[in-house]
Amino acid sequence: MGHDATVRYTASEALDRLRAGNDRFVQGTARFPTVQKEVLADLAKGQRPYATILGCSDSRVPPELLFDAGFGELFIVRLAGNVLSPEVGGTFQYAGVHLRTPLFLILGHEGCGAVHAALEAKFRGARDRSRIEALLQNILPGLDGIDPTASPEEQLRAGVEANVRWTIHQIMESPEARARQAEGVLQLVGAVADIATGRVRFLEA
């Protein structure tokens, strides 16, 4: 089955497609990759992805596979720790203005090394190379609510979710994002992938 690039999905339809794709992946009934030449030729004329995803660079969480999505379906940025940077903001703006994807997803994952490193720096004084530390600076503000007395495992679990919510919070600080959300044309959701099962858990707003 190919992706029909002529269809415009609503945000909730887009979310349903992600959920259904993740179900197929977890149940071992994924249909990827079955792309045909005609589909690629059709997509060469233009793309109309239904979801924009900011995910982690971690090799165990490729969004196309987790959501059993093919060519033309997902517009993706991947950065260690799924952090927001000016370039990510620009990519999201492009997706919103020019591609008009109805759904934006921030996809964290259990056991994230970047969040782990930020927690180690915050609570246990760990130091990293300068560019890694610069990356961690984007994560640390989101970890303010993490319980310092919790175990490292509990901190990491809470930190992964807090980091996703922090990225969402930063995006929603822009007047443009708030306006689009109010118009109902943009839906921004968070999710956390469980590496051990491939199951994606969507966060409540």
Binding stretches for Zn ion (CB under 5 A): 56, 58, 112
Q: Which is nearer to Zn ion, 56 or 146 (CB)?
A: 56
The CB-of-123 to Zn ion minimum distance in angstroms stands at 18
Contact between 80 and 138 under an 8 Å Cβ cutoff? The reply is no
Pick between residue 163 and residue 187 the one whose CB is nearest to Zn ion: 163
The CB-of-81 to Zn ion minimum distance in angstroms stands at 6
CB of residue 106 vs Zn ion: minimum separation in angstroms? Answer: 12
Question: How many other C-beta atoms are found inside a 10 Å radius of the C-beta of residue 108?
Answer: 29
Residues 6+ apart with CB under 8 A from 68: 21, 22, 24, 25, 30, 31, 32
Question: Is the CB of 58 or the CB of 68 nearer to Zn ion?
Answer: 58
- Report the C-alpha gap between 120 and 62 in whole angstroms: 25
Q: Select 56 or 76, whichever has its Cβ closest to Zn ion.
A: 56
Q: Shortest Cβ distance from residue 117 to Zn ion (Å)?
A: 10
